[in-house]
Amino acid sequence: MPELPEMENYKILLNQKIAGQIITDVQINREKSINLNPDLFMKTVQHQKIITIKRRGKLLLFHLQNGQILLLHLMLGGWMYYGTEEDKPKRTIQVRLSFGEHHLYFIGLRLGYLHLYNSTHTEEHLSHLGPEPLSNDFSINEFKERINHKHGRLKTTLLDQEFIAGIGNYYSAEICYGAGIMPTKDIDDLEEPKREKLYQSIQSILQKGIQNGGYMDNPLFKDDTLTGGFNELCQVYDREGEKCKRCGTIIQMETISSRKTFYCPNCQK
Ligand SMILES: [Zn+2]
């Protein structure tokens, strides 16, 4: 599932492509992907200019000129492609937004969705989310304060969107590795210096993820060389049986609460 860096990468690139552009056409091939009657959805979205695209946690917000917002959650398996009919991926398209000859294709939206809300309903929808880990307001003190109230396994807490927004299975593994902490570690056993290390690792791993285009397999558009660049920098996620790039120990995988958890038994304590 795309996480904060993947969605931030999409946000940056899509702002370059479609901010200021008018949606000339809307095609809905899967009604379950939207939250309104298709006619109403199309009527509200068509001919609207996209003012800007923002991100909150793992969600993207397409702000329309009429004040309405398209709220996108890709969930598991969802991705996007921007281009012409000619270079569109040979995949089933659930929703298509057109900008003249170019289109934004929403692909793999099985659990994912593109919902239309006004700003009040959008806020309600996002109200449960915890702080943005890369915002200036999210200081080390704020982090310590929040984690002080948490117990149980570190990994479970990192995945909790009410604790911090935007971290999923992939980056939780990389963050724990970066901090040298076992994802199975009980938070109560994390000493002060380790908590600081964890905060630093959250910041640096997520930033590195964004700078390198996240881990999505598919490019966003033709000649997109940025998207997916983080895959090569990944240290533990999905590397079970391979050698740790730092110490050579074999990377292990354990299933915790039905989620695959990867770690280096030597680098992480
Ligand atoms: Zn190692």
Where does a domain end: 73, 99, 126? 126
Helix%, strand%, coil% for the chain, nearest 5: 30, 25, 45
Residue in the block written with tokens 């702002």: 15
Query: Which pLDDT value is given to residue 127?
Result: 98
Do residues 95 and 150 both lie within one domain? no
Within a domain: 132: no
- The CATH number for 211's domain is 1.10.8.50
Residue 211 CA, ligand 1 centroid: distance in Å:
24
Pick the closest to residue 160 from 145, 144, 146 (CA basis): 146
Percent of the chain with pLDDT over 90: 98
Within a domain: 58: yes
Do residues 168 and 111 both lie within one domain? no
Residue 269 CA, ligand 1 centroid: distance in Å:
10
Q: Which residues are catalytic?
A: 2-3, 58, 259
Q: Is the dihedral of CA 203, 208, 211, 215 positive or negative?
A: negative
| Eight-state DSSP code of residue 16 | H
The pLDDT tens digits for 83-133 are 999 999 999 999 999 999 999 999 999 899 999 999 999 999 999 999 999
Question: Mean pLDDT for the chain?
Answer: 97
Domain of residue 28 covers: 4-126
Do residues 205 and 146 both lie within one domain? yes
Q: How many domains does the chain have?
A: 2
Within a domain: 50: yes
The pLDDT tens digits for 34-89 are 999 999 999 999 999 999 999 999 999 999 999 999 999 999 999 999 999 999 99
Pick the closest to residue 71 from 120, 137, 1, 25 (CA basis): 120
Within a domain: 134: no
Query: Which pLDDT value is given to residue 258?
Result: 86
Where does a domain end: 126, 156, 191? 126
- The CATH number for 70's domain is 3.20.190.10
Residue 111 CA, ligand 1 centroid: distance in Å:
35
**Type of residue found at 22:** I
Query: Which pLDDT value is given to residue 257?
Result: 80
Residue 265 CA, ligand 1 centroid: distance in Å:
7
Pick the closest to residue 171 from 138, 131, 215 (CA basis): 215
Query: Which pLDDT value is given to residue 231?
Result: 94
Over range 152-174, report the average pLDDT: 97
